[in-house]
């Protein structure tokens, strides 16, 4: 089953859920705002993405710009920051078994689901 790391206030995330639902794809929603990921869970997701933590930080987010921009945090520090501030995580993230991908653009999701 596909897992979707989701933020309900994100239009891209909602569009992916709608696409999956319309196409009969079974999925589990993990609302990262209501149930933030731990540092260990974030590390697991990053391993499945095959990316560093810096790849999933939303650098356009107001919270980032006001509190974190221009500061030199380590990967471990960023993991803690993202665990405490899940709105800073790129979303949605689609997880299928041992691999994951950022769920944007929607065309990438379509390709990922079909493979």
Of 8-12, 24-28, 33-37, least confident by mean pLDDT is 8-12
For 57-84, what is the mean pLDDT? 97
- Confidence grade of residue 104 (pLDDT, cut at 50, 70, 90): confident
For all residues of the chain together, what is the average pLDDT?
Answer: 95
Task: Tell me: pLDDT of 24 over 90.
Answer: yes
For 28-44, what is the mean pLDDT? 97
> 3-class DSSP state for residue 61?
coil
User: In 1-115, which ranges are continuous DSSP H helix?
Assistant: 11-22, 39-49, 62-67, 75-84, 106-114
Catalytic residues: 10
Q: Which pTM was predicted?
A: 0.92
- pLDDT at residue 115 in the model: 72
For 79-85, what is the mean pLDDT? 98
- CA separation for the pair 27, 6 (Å, rounded): 11
- Confidence grade of residue 98 (pLDDT, cut at 50, 70, 90): very high
Nearest CA to 31 out of 47, 15, 13, 18 is that of: 13
Using an 8 Å Cβ cutoff, are 56 and 93 in contact? yes
CB-CB neighbours of 2 under 10 Å:
16
Using an 8 Å Cβ cutoff, are 12 and 104 in contact? yes
For 14-26, what is the mean pLDDT? 95
């Amino acid at each position: 089953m596909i897992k979707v790391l989701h933020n309900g206030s994100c239009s891209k995330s909602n569009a992916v859920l709608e696409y999956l639902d319309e196409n009969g794809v079974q999925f589990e929603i993990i609302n990262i705002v209501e149930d933030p990921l731990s540092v260990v869970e974030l590390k697991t997701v990053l391993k499945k993405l095959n990316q560093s933590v810096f790849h999933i930080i939303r650098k356009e987010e107001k919270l980032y710009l006001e509190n974190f921009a221009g500061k030199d945090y380590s990967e471990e520090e960023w993991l803690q920051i993202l665990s405490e501030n899940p709105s800073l995580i790129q979303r949605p993230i689609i997880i299928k078994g041992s691999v994951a991908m950022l769920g944007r653009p929607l065309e990438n999701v379509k390709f990922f689901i079909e493979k």
